[in-house]
Structure 1
Amino acid sequence: MGVAMERRAFLRGRRRLPQPLRPPGACAEAVFVARCDRCDGCIRACPERILRRGGGGFPEIDFTRGGCTFCGRCVTACARGALAPWGRGRPWMLEARLDAACLALQGIGCMSCLDACPREAIALRPLCGRLAPQVDAARCDGCGACVRPCPVGAIRMVRREDAARGAA
């Protein structure tokens, strides 16, 4: 479901509006919004150029521009504490989700997501007599490197709690 469709569903009372994907190390949404002064420091600091101004001028991740290398430059650039160092843990709880538009799930030879994943979190598994890509949630660190190379836009990054509830 695209963003426009999600907004229409929300306005009709059928869904909650999804939270934007914030930079790595972002505090809980309410704290993030209270602390972030929308200075664009994190956006300018991102070497991958995947941060952009989103709703209300707050920074958001745009994985169609590429993946996150978790360099931490956005955190260093944040003087207000809206982004915090994550240490050895995960900077966020995102994982890749493939939808029905995936070419490989339709039996068409495509492995762009497998080739792009630096953690080898996407692998081919048997499904209905053929091999189909599946995400290993334990290996996926949510970097989003698989999103941009997908020729049909069939990969989205979702929060792990949304993935556990079955949200697409």
Structure 2
Amino acid sequence: MSQSINQSRRNLFSRRKSNVTRPPWSKTDQEFTDNCTRCDKCITACETQIIKRGEGGFPEIDFNLGECTFCQLCVDVCPEPVFDLAQSLPWSIRASIKDSCLTYEGVWCQSCKDACDPRAISFIMAVGQVPKPLIDTDACTGCGACVSPCPSNAIQIGKPS
């Protein structure tokens, strides 16, 4: 009985569902925020400086600042049990294209494709139209390299739907 009361209290006062992206290989958001001491070591260690202090001072990724190279420096420097390198992938996020993509307005742009090292973004040709982007979600690593070069802020990185 006591355990169910404690579980009910925990659910009542638990943090709201977060839609932020934590550093790669992070455990669940609940485990991450329960154990992270907000020491900023991962922020300082990040070679591309895309980890920033987010809500509550917890580290989160900002792909507008650059891409993740999966260097693992954030994992290596962290003294807390917030990462799990045994996960098969660093994270389950992928890129998607929003309606604000310039190609939907008839503008020829392929800045996202040019920035994508795994070549997960291709463009489909159509007669009388500018090529439209297509993301291969199996090839996409969620690194975010396509985000900052996009002139219309049309790339979104998140959990696949």
Matched residue, 1:132: 132
Per mean C-alpha deviation after superposition, the further-off stretch among 105-114 and 125-134 is 125-134
Task: Provide, for residues 42-92 of structure 1, a one-character-per-residue CA deviation record: whole Å limited to 9, x for no partner.
Answer: 0000010000000000000000000100000000011111122256x3100
Mapping of 1:1-150 within 5 angstroms? 18-86=18-86, 89-126=88-125, 130=129, 131-150=131-150
Q: Contact 1:93/1:159 (CA < 8 Å) preserved in 2?
A: yes
The CA distance in 2 between the partners of 1:56 and 1:112, in whole Å, is 34
Give the match's secondary structure for 1:148.
coil
Distance 1:128 1:29, change over 3 A: farther
TM normalised by structure 2 equals: 0.84
Give the match's secondary structure for 1:64.
helix
Q: Which amino acid aligns with 2:103?
A: A
The CA distance in 2 between the partners of 1:65 and 1:86, in whole Å, is 27
Larger Rg: 2
Give the match's secondary structure for 2:49.
coil
Matched residue, 2:10: none
Say if 2:153 is the partner of 1:153.
yes
Q: Which amino acid aligns with 2:28?
A: A
Q: Contact 2:51/2:60 (CA < 8 Å) preserved in 1?
A: yes
Segments ≥4 residues shifted beyond 6 Å:
none
Q: Contact 2:26/2:32 (CA < 8 Å) preserved in 1?
A: yes
Matched residue, 2:8: none
Distance 1:86 1:112, change over 3 A: farther
Give the match's secondary structure for 1:156.
strand
Give the percent of matched residue pairs that are identical in Structure 1 and Structure 2.
Answer: 42
Aligned pairs, number: 145
Structure 1: which 5+ residue stretches go unaligned?
1-15
Structure 2: which 5+ residue stretches go unaligned?
1-15
The CA distance in 1 between the partners of 2:155 and 2:18, in whole Å, is 16
TM normalised by structure 1 equals: 0.81
Q: Contact 1:72/1:85 (CA < 8 Å) preserved in 2?
A: no
The root-mean-square deviation of aligned C-alpha atoms, in Å, is 1.7
